[in-house]
Chains A and B, each alone.
Chain A
Amino acid sequence: MTGSPLARGWLYSEATEFAHRSGACYCRGFRRWVVSDGPRADTHSNNNQEDIMAVYSTNEFKNGLKIMVDNDPCSIVDLDFVKPGKGQAFTRVKYRNLKTGRVNERTYKSGETLESADVMDTEMQYLYNDGEFWHFMLPETFEQYMVPMVALGDATQWLKGQETCIITLWNDAPLAVTPPNFVELVITETDPGVRGDTSGGGGKPATLETGAVVRVPLFVNQGETIKVDTRTGEYVSRVKT
């Protein structure tokens, strides 16, 4: 199993454990996590189709480039070329660790290389969750991906089903989920509205059908549907249903 791109990832143990229990398997040939009804195929242990990792030299570095740093997928967020007139050239790189979100800085001698990270953003539809994994589907192929809770983070509070999300895949394993910028959800609980108040100043907390709590204007009532900006967690407007 060494040599598998997943062998380096934190997801591997979780995913294989799940695979053993549920009959899901990671098919190297398709580079997809798929759920199968049959017995688990042992395709990933005797596979001679090695992944060919691209390598970037410092001259190829640019913002947004996905690279591997200490076995973690990272994205370059800032670059600086430093060189004394008559001295050694360096490339200083600020990068975001895509697993932890932390930004760090490193220095490379000009001409050094870094392994690329096989990271891509894919639009998928959220189907349901089983308490442990969130299930998403590629709309074109109906292929399903199981995303562990840790990769969703705060995204869970905005999802009720059917939403199209951006799934960031690393070696085809889900790394992060970005919910739609705006979602429409029903208020399941909030204090009764105050008659005549339309200013919206102050506001009150409202619990939504997904469990998220947002501040809404006083005139918004329980049972109404509201539009929320998931990037800020703020109320946008009421939605006529």
Chain B
Amino acid sequence: MSTTDTGDDQSDESVTDSRSVTDAFLDWRPGAPLSNLRARAALLARIRGFFAARGVLEVETPTLSASAVTDPHLCSLQSRYTGPGFPAGYTLYLQTSPEFAMKRLLAAGSGPIYQLGKAYRDGETGRLHNPEFTLLEWYRPGFDLSAMMDEVETLAAQVLGLTGRFERVSYRELFRRRLGIDPFETSVDALRDCARRHGLSRSAELPLTGPDAWLDLLLTHFIEPGLGVGTPCFVHDYPPSQAALARIRSGPCPVAERFELYIDGMEIANGYHELGDPEEQRIRFERDRERRRLDGLPDVMPDGRLLAALAHGLPDCAGVALGVDRLVMAALGTKSIGEVVAFTLGRA
């Protein structure tokens, strides 16, 4: 449990101090051993080989986009273009994932596609986080959630050299088994009490709003550390309030058609049976904006181009985003992202 071994402890002051003396004192070396970077390159090559063999098209979409993400849990970094066409400057957002642009390609008839590239998230630095990270995202028209989990499992097993089936457990069953509560039916007070019983100090003061934040706390503190250790584990069928961009399967107990893959206690991948209904998408954008207003976060305008693409028609598809840095960590058994990324934030 340390942010210091990511190599990010080189605070701005120390960098500035060194510079003011002489650049020779700057720590210019990579934070990751070169052997890890070679293993990383080999893993990237295996991923590309996997999709080439399956006829999935590699695409590239802009990392700089006119639209940001509305999700209140994600914060976009901003950049600014000034030049021909935009003499007064044009704000561009570094993408937190290539999801919207890739869905526009799907709506245009691309067929199955994948992208291996950088994504950016402001405010995220730690043992498992770097504000700039490598994301593998792919979409499969005609796949449902189960078929998508199968493909993620095949890919992860291949690149990690694993044999044997991964575990699959529903979000509800996971909380029942590990904490003895029903995450769909439990009140904020009961969730807080559950956290207290499992040893969380200051559970009474922690200013969390709503059940989902408490579920996130219980998951990250008391379930995640042992999740997927030994055998990777898929968690699927999330509460509708955590659907993000997944479809909701209606029924007596509606669930979001979403899954997460955990390996060695790390969240590795997040997949959806993708929401294609433009009206439902518009409602979710507005709900995100309302949440942002309540939380005092900056407002974000919905991506009109995504809505237009959905209105044109998104093929029924499943999609998944997989954190490549963490996959490399799992392959090498390293403890922090700084051991598999050449230059993390403190060295960038």
Q: A-side interface residues toward B, CB under 8 Å?
A: 59, 62-63, 78-90, 92, 94, 104-110, 112
In the assembled complex, which residues on chain B have CB atoms less than 8 Å from the CB atom of A87?
73, 212-213, 216, 219-220, 242
Sampled A-B contacts (16; CB under 8 Å): A62-B11, A79-B1, A80-B2, A80-B3, A81-B125, A82-B220, A83-B220, A84-B216, A84-B219, A86-B73, A86-B242, A88-B213, A90-B221, A107-B206, A110-B123, A112-B207
Tell me the minimal C-beta distance from B57 to chain A in angstroms.
25
The 4 residue pairs across chains A and B that have the minimum distance between CB atoms: A81-B126, A87-B216, A80-B1, A88-B216
Given contacts A62-B11, A83-B129, A85-B270, contact A105 B208 (CB under 8 A): no
Q: Write the chain A residue with the least CB distance to B2.
A: A78
Q: How many A-B residue pairs have CB under 8 A?
A: 90
Q: B-side interface residues toward A, CB under 8 Å?
A: 1-4, 9, 11, 71, 73-74, 123-129, 200-202, 206-208, 212-213, 216-217, 219-221, 224, 242, 244, 260, 267, 270, 321, 323
Asked if A92 and B123 sit within 8 Å, CB to CB, the answer is no
Asked if A106 and B208 sit within 8 Å, CB to CB, the answer is no
Asked if B270 and A86 sit within 8 Å, CB to CB, the answer is yes
Tell me the bound Cα distance from A84 to B129 in angstroms. Answer: 11
Given contacts A84-B216, A84-B220, A104-B201, contact A89 B123 (CB under 8 A): yes
Asked if A86 and B71 sit within 8 Å, CB to CB, the answer is yes
Asked if B71 and A79 sit within 8 Å, CB to CB, the answer is no
Asked if B3 and A109 sit within 8 Å, CB to CB, the answer is no
Asked if A88 and B1 sit within 8 Å, CB to CB, the answer is no
Tell me the bound Cα distance from A150 to B212 in angstroms. Answer: 46
List 10 other contacts, CB 8 Å, given A79-B4, A85-B260, A85-B321: A79-B1, A80-B126, A81-B124, A81-B128, A84-B220, A87-B213, A105-B201, A107-B200, A109-B206, A109-B207
Q: Write the chain A residue with the least CB distance to B124.
A: A83
In the assembled complex, which residues on chain B have CB atoms less than 8 Å from the CB atom of A81?
3, 124-129
In the assembled complex, which residues on chain A have CB atoms less than 8 Å from the CB atom of B4?
63, 79
In the assembled complex, which residues on chain B have CB atoms less than 8 Å from the CB atom of A83?
73, 124, 126, 129, 220
Q: Write the chain B residue with the least CB distance to A86.
A: B244
Tell me the bound Cα distance from A43 to B136 in angstroms. Answer: 66
Given contacts A81-B125, A81-B126, contact A88 B2 (CB under 8 A): no
Tell me the bound Cα distance from A63 to B123 in angstroms. Answer: 18
Tell me the bound Cα distance from A105 to B242 in angstroms. Answer: 28
In the assembled complex, which residues on chain A have CB atoms less than 8 Å from the CB atom of B126?
79-83
Asked if B2 and A106 sit within 8 Å, CB to CB, the answer is no
Tell me the minimal C-beta distance from B288 to chain A in angstroms.
11
Tell me the bound Cα distance from A106 to B201 in angstroms. Answer: 6
In the assembled complex, which residues on chain B have CB atoms less than 8 Å from the CB atom of A107?
200-202, 206, 217, 221
Tell me the bound Cα distance from A90 to B215 in angstroms. Answer: 12
Q: Write the chain A residue with the least CB distance to B203.
A: A107
